[in-house]
Every structure is written in C-alpha cells, then in structure tokens.
C-alpha cells in the first residue's frame, strides 16, 4: 500500500505533532479537524512545502457517521488510520448533562467505530493496513471528575483489542497508545500547583511532549503487523 495516513484531530496538540512526524517520514497526509480548519490548512501547506508530500485538510465532525461518510467520499483510502480526535469533560458525574455525556462518548469512542468502518474495506482489499488509536492511561485506571472521559478511553482500549483479533487474519494491525500527562491544551486547565503535584508522581519527573507520542505512533505504523492488539502506555512510568 502507499504511505498514506489519515489523522483526526490534527489541528493542534498531539494530532499536529503526529502530522509533522509522518510528513517528515514521507507519508502523504489527510488531516481533519472539527473547528480549526484555518490553522489546519496552514499546517497542511507548510508540510507540503517542507517535506514535499501531498497533504490535504478537511473540516469534519467525526463523531457524526454522515460526516465520516462524506469525508471518505472525498479522499484516497488511507493505509494508516490514526484516530486522535478527543475531548474531555471535568466535573461531577451528577452535574453532567445528557448532551455532555453523549458528546464525550461520541467524540472519543463512536468516532473511532465510524472511521474504522469506513477505512477497513480498502485495507481488506490490500491485505494490509495499520489502525492506531490515541487513548489515555485513565482508560485503565479511571480518573475522578472525568468519568465520561475515562469510560470512553476504557471502551477505546477494549475496541482496540477486539478489532485487532478480528482483523489480524487479514494482515491489518490495530493498536493504541495510552497517553499520560502530555503538554497539550487539554491539560492547560491545570494550575502550576496542580501540575507540580502530578509531576511529583511521574518517575520521569516531567510531563510528556506531543512529539514523543507522535514518535511512538510512527513506530507502530512502520512495525510488523504481528504487533497488534496492544495498548502501549506513554506516561513516563506514571501508571
């Protein structure tokens, strides 16, 4: 298959770092985001100019099945699918609205189902492909005040392991990267005191960088398809 990666949630943070890492490695890219299309288009242009790869930017709410169908009608089928789009909700579960719950689950988990369902047929025809999901250590351990987020990531881990077994006979690998505390906008809500408290529990004694997550994801994309069904922690030894 061609080196062609599709990355969701690519306009900032970990998704942006993944796009840069894959462009540097010579992959043509399809990038999508829900809101920051202007920033994503600038990134796509910069990557094309710098690394001489094909890079296209699309605005799509991948939590909606119809939006995913529309996206795949416009693009070349990917050889690598990276499901990175995600949101968090911080607050008591008793204060959470139906809409907040549904939006978190749909964005973090249902979107992965919609994207995989659309990407897998071409991978099956090629007897090749890589699916990599961006998860969180909270999917295993759970986080107080982040029940919906933790539930969505726990579901994503189970989805990863199950789909890997389903697709392994067809030469397609499915893995996840469970991130610890990474320096992204999602974690910018933490005060300096809160950040210091968390870092004190991380053996690496620092927060992670998006580029470090991106490097692990690239290694999974270029690994043997015998490596499948794994949820790999990138957390500095935290959990």
Q: Which residues have a catalytic role annotated? A: 149
- Give the DSSP per-residue string, 18-82: HHHHHHHTT-EEEEEESS-HHHHHHHHHHHHHHH---EEEEE--TTSHHHHHHHHHHSPPPSEEE
Q: How far is CA 21 from CA 38, 70, 84, 215, in A?
A: 20, 27, 14, 7
- The number of residues in the chain equals 239
CB atoms within 10 A of CB 206: 11
**Which letter does DSSP use for residue 213 in this model?**
H
CA dihedral 1, 55, 220, 111 (to 10 degrees): -100
């Amino acid at each position: 298959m061609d080196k062609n990666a599709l990355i969701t949630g690519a306009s900032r943070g970990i998704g942006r770092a993944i796009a840069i890492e894959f462009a540097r490695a010579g992959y043509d890219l399809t990038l999508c985001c829900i809101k920051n299309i202007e920033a994503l288009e600038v990134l796509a242009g910069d990557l094309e100019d710098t690394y001489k790869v094909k890079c296209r930017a699309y605005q799509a709410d991948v939590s909606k099945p119809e939006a995913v169908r529309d996206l795949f009608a416009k693009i070349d089928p990917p050889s690598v699918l990276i499901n990175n789009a995600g949101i968090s909700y911080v607050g008591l579960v008793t204060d959470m609205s139906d809409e907040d719950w549904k939006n978190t689950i749909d964005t973090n988990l249902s979107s992965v189902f919609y994207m995989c369902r659309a990407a897998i047929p071409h991978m099956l025809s090629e007897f090749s492909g890589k699916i990599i999901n961006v998860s969180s250590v909270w999917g295993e351990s759970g986080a107080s005040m982040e029940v919906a987020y933790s539930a969505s990531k726990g579901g994503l881990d189970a989805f990863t392991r199950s789909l890997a077994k389903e697709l392994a006979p067809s030469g397609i690998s499915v893995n996840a990267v469970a991130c610890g505390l990474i320096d992204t906008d999602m974690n910018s809500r933490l005060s300096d005191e809160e950040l210091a408290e968390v870092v004190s529990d991380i053996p690496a004694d620092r927060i992670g960088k998006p580029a470090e997550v991106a490097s692990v994801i690239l290694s999974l994309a270029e690994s043997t398809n015998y490596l499948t069904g794994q949820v790999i922690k990138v957390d500095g030894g935290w959990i």
